[in-house]
Chains A and B, each alone.
Chain A
Amino acid sequence: MPNKSPATPPIPVSDDTLNDMLAHMLPAGADDGDLYIEQSFAESLSLEEGRVKHISASTHQGLGARVIRGEASGHAYTDRLEPAALMDAARAARAIATGGGNMKPVAIHAAHPAPQLYQADNPALSVPLAGRKELLEKLDRLARSLDSRVRQVFASVSSSFSNIHIIRMDGAHVHDARPLVRLNVSVVVEQDGKRETGSAGGGGRFALSRMLEGDEAERLVQEAVRLAILNLDAGEAPAGTMPVVLGPGWPGILLHEAIGHGLEGDFNRKGTSVFSEKMGKRVAARGITVVDDGSIAERRGSLNVDDEGTQSGRTVLIEDGILTGYLLDRQNARLMDMQPTGNGRRESYAHPVLPRMTNTFMLAGSDSPEDILGSLKRGIYAVNFGGGQVDITSGKFVFTTSEAYYVENGEIQYPVKGAPLIGSGYEVLQKVSMIGNDLQLDPGVGTCGKAGQSVPVGVGLPTIRIDDLTVGGTQA
């Protein structure tokens, strides 16, 4: 596990300009504020029709200036790191504050270093472009060799590296260097004129060379082909309310949609979440503990510090079925008289900070996965999912299966086509009757959208049984 503390790279704006900006931005009446400077490098290779036809890259830098006063905030960004543009941003951010006068200049100084959960190097440097191209070509050949029904293979490998400097109103400077890699494979198969797809992916905050070690990449190809072939034979999913068993790992998206968003501080402070005023109350069955943990080494959802410089940690959201915590950025924590939890995140310098999840998962229980599946008289066993969505006010959520089976008397009968599962976030965890001993985290593929901003996240789940959930199939 990496733990060396690397040298902090220089901030691409002079101390004098930063000091001028801070002094302008933080007049009397401001509660908080910061400057967020980001330099990011991203590269992506994609393969289709057997060829890596396209390589793309981006190099971006910019600054976001933020002033907070009570429930209000001013945010301005610029892509141009020149003094005139930067001062314009500082003045625009300040428009939210009422008081006059400027703050005394403060010395910009390094804050206490955060733990290093991931290597502070550009993950792309570990494998040259030509090596990444060869990897994709190898995966394409493998997919086609696995099954003659494979018609199309799409594979992509992408990496990014962001250097982030956060300068708080007291001059404290926090730096984080965030690597992120992702490998994706999807295939189209065809049999008797019928086409289906399957896909698989993985990644995290580590060097790209890791994706080439062992047989991880090959395993993703096998998984994508297996899912596509399985879908060729899938039957219609039932429509109606029935018990559902969720497999371990990525099905933890249930927690993300049904529970996680509803526990974000902004919605609860404003009273717009179904979980508002539920603190200390039972929201899940006994035995259920759900945590959000941004401090797991090298996970896609992990952060050394959040985008306000708060060190990441582990927040217990639900303990033995009782609601115990919210996910908080600094502004919402102050307004709710609570401590920030390291969940203040932004997609980039061009976006405002919102309370967001990191890695959200349920702790393991004691039931064996076989017993849980065996308990299903008639229902659905859902092993994998595509995306999900929630209305945090009504609590209604939907997430769609990508691998699921119809089960009778504890025995798998046949695979079913992608079907949405729909339920109420407030009720669903109260209907969990069995919790497996097989907690798994997802393979590193999650991206969460909120208010038009995307951030990488993780989820995890042991096998669980939910006594009733609405399955949106076509077989009424």
Chain B
Amino acid sequence: MSTQTSSLNDLSQCLVDAAATAGAVHADALAVANTGNSISVRTGHVESIEHEDGCGIGLRAFVETPKGLAFASASSSDVSAAGLKSLAEQVVAMACISEPDPDAVPPVGANHPDAGAIADWQHKHPERDSGWTIDAARKTALDCETIARDYSNDITNSEGADASFGSTHVAYAASDGFAADYAKSSASLSISVIAGKGEGMQRDYAWHRAMHVSHLKNTEELASEAASRAVRRLDARSMPSGKATVVFEPRVATSLASHLTGAINGRAVLQKRSFLADSNGRHIFPDFIQIIDDPDHPDGLANRLFDGEGSRCTRRTLIKAGQLTGFLTDRYAAGRLKTVATGHARRGLTGDTGIGPSNLIWQPGQHDQASIIAGIEHGLLVTELIGFGVNGVTGDYSRGAGGFLIEHGQITRPVQGITIAGNLKDMFAGIVQVGSDMTWFGSTAVPSIAIADMTIAGE
């Protein structure tokens, strides 16, 4: 363990102690340090070099009142002894004003991983850096942009390539004595180029992020992907309004996965803010759909041993043969929903606990994207979505889209300036096929997803 992490452990432990001194009955704390570098290049030259050196602490403290436990939280970047003391006093004072909640769950007695599990995890996930240096990242970014710009004469301009790398260390401590830390590294490469001229310009991009530079996609592959995508979009225009089968390619299908995790978020369910609030145990997808949350996956950027409340994380099948097996919960939502906490608490330095997945894996199907398209008489391959037209309460869905027209099993031309609409409940149930092309974007892996009978608004 590095000195940095051990001092972070001290910080989080000191904060919990300071909270007790200030009058808290329970508390938990986070200490985070991150360093990172980012190089952007454009038209063959370095455009910016950025360096980050961040640190922060966050404390959540509970006080006892005649009506039950009340809590508050705060964050700071002042890690001096006086800073810790004043943060603790501030949080306790705020907690005394908060309204007690009879359902509040203090950071005591969570299903913590034991010492053996922590040791196994650290052995399996040794602390290491991203494997990049500024010079190597600069060279990769320059190479990437050059390959993309040289891809075709139709590439007329560039928004540049960006190579970033860094690491984050997090230490967590709770007043029941649980304390643990972890470190993460990442390296990412992105490229965006422009094809065409004037009002006919089209931009497209490609990106990849991995824990270590050795797992990053091949530079040439990424550069060619961005350039070929931009060129293929030239001369895009609208298409007629009407019903069509829509194929979401993996990079946009990730948004469907996040609409699902947003809707099965236990807190949204409690508050009736989800269109799936009444769907526990129901078949919300066709029976060939399987979706897994895996907190320990070789390709996972969101691997974790414990969640934001120190609860142990385990692999779960969220959608089993089309059936919703349960909601994602933290300890609070689990208590209210009368179920067991699933280890999905998410915490920032300040603010209430949230809920979110770890690595989300939408299992692939048998057929590749080309054979899915070959079976579609009239449809749209969506490669880009813009706008925020999704209502999480009702499931109503309508977003701006771009992509390619599918006619008689063939891609015939690029399309833009249209919207696709439906209701997420119908869309989930209306999935007709998923591709064999499962692809990772960050901590989400998804295949192409084909949905029948969506409404296109165009000409």
Contacts and interface: CB of A to CB of B under 8 A. Distances in A.
The answer to whether A binds B is yes
A244 to B, nearest CB: 13
A73 interface: yes
A107 interface: no
Interface string B162-198: 0000000000000000000000000000000010001
Task: Count chain B CB atoms within 10 A of each CB in A85, A88, A352, A400 and give the residue with the most.
Answer: A400
Interface string A400-412: 1000000000000
Contacts of B416: 394, 396
A476 B47 contact: no
A165 interface: no
A237 B45 CA distance: 48
B387 A400 contact: yes
Interface string B39-63: 0001001111111111110000000
B201 A196 contact: no
B458 A152 contact: no
Nearest to B349: A58
B459 interface: yes
Contacts of A188: 271-273, 393
B456 A476 contact: yes
Interface in B238-276: 238, 241-243, 271-273
Interface in B174-226: 194, 198-199, 201-203
B457 A61 contact: no
A62 interface: yes
Given A239-B457, A476-B241, A56 B351 contact: yes
Contacts of B97: 55, 129-130, 133
Contact of A472 (B157, B202, B273, B400): B400
Contacts of B56: 60, 79
A274 interface: yes
B203 A394 contact: yes
Contacts of A274: 198-199, 201
Interface string A414-441: 0001111011101000000000000000
B78 interface: yes
A240 B458 contact: yes
B47 A71 contact: yes
A472 B385 CA distance: 13
A245 interface: no
Contacts of B52: 76-77, 350
A51 B100 CA distance: 8
Contacts of B51: 75-77, 89, 92-93, 95
Interface in A346-394: 350, 352, 386-391, 393-394
Contacts of A163: none
Given A85-B53, A197-B391, A271-B157, A133 B455 contact: no
A398 B400 CA distance: 6
A309 interface: no
A73 B97 CA distance: 46
B71 A54 contact: yes
B398 A473 contact: yes
Interface string A166-195: 000000000000000000000010100011
Contacts of A58: 74-76, 349-350
A327 interface: no
B65 to A, nearest CB: 12
Given A59-B75, A272-B203, A388-B387, A472 B50 contact: no
Contact of A78 (B53, B202, B351): B53
Interface string B414-433: 00111111100000000000
A414 to B, nearest CB: 16
A50 B434 CA distance: 43
A55 B78 CA distance: 20
B53 A473 contact: no
B452 to A, nearest CB: 14
A476 B419 CA distance: 11
B48 A72 contact: yes
A270 interface: yes
A36 interface: no
B255 to A, nearest CB: 13
B436 interface: no
Interface in B370-411: 384, 386-389, 391, 393-394, 396, 398-400, 402
A271 B456 CA distance: 32
A129 B53 CA distance: 33
A79 B273 CA distance: 37
A396 B202 CA distance: 10
Interface residues of A, number: 85
B14 interface: no
B22 interface: no
A362 B154 CA distance: 37
A396 B457 contact: no
A30 to B, nearest CB: 13
A470 B271 contact: no
Interface in A74-118: 74-80, 85, 88-89, 92-93, 95-96
A241 interface: yes
B53 A420 contact: no
A272 B159 contact: yes
Given A58-B74, A393-B201, A472-B419, A72 B47 contact: yes
A53 B417 contact: no
Contacts of B391: 197, 417-418
Interface residues of B, number: 78
B81 to A, nearest CB: 15
Task: Count chain A CB atoms within 10 A of each CB in B74, B456, B457 and give the residue with the most.
Answer: B457
Given A197-B391, A472-B419, A420 B73 contact: no
B95 interface: yes
A417 B272 CA distance: 19
A151 B349 CA distance: 31
Contacts of B48: 72-75, 96, 352
A197 B242 CA distance: 28
A391 B203 contact: yes
Contact of B101 (A53, A62, A397): A53
Contacts of B349: 58
Given A394-B202, A423-B417, A389 B159 contact: no
A467 B316 CA distance: 52
Interface in B298-350: 349-350
B207 to A, nearest CB: 13
Given A472-B421, A472-B457, A474-B455, A52 B99 contact: yes
A418 B203 contact: no
B53 A74 contact: no
B389 to A, nearest CB: 4
B456 A239 contact: yes
Interface string A244-288: 000000000000000000000000001110100100000000000
A393 B193 CA distance: 10
A458 interface: no
A399 interface: yes
A142 interface: no
A474 B422 contact: yes
A274 B201 CA distance: 7
A391 B199 CA distance: 12
A240 B459 contact: yes
Given A474-B398, A475-B455, 20 more contacts: A56-B74, A57-B73, A60-B76, A71-B47, A73-B49, A74-B48, A76-B51, A76-B53, A77-B54, A95-B49, A130-B97, A152-B271, A190-B272, A197-B273, A239-B456, A398-B386, A399-B387, A426-B199, A472-B457, A476-B243
23 contacts: A53-B70, A54-B71, A55-B98, A56-B94, A56-B350, A72-B49, A73-B47, A76-B50, A80-B53, A133-B97, A152-B271, A188-B272, A195-B394, A272-B157, A388-B387, A398-B387, A398-B389, A398-B419, A420-B419, A470-B418, A470-B458, A471-B457, A474-B455
Top 9 A-B residue pairs of the complex, sorted by shortest distance between their CB atoms = A472-B419, A398-B387, A398-B400, A239-B457, A92-B51, A393-B203, A76-B51, A387-B388, A57-B74
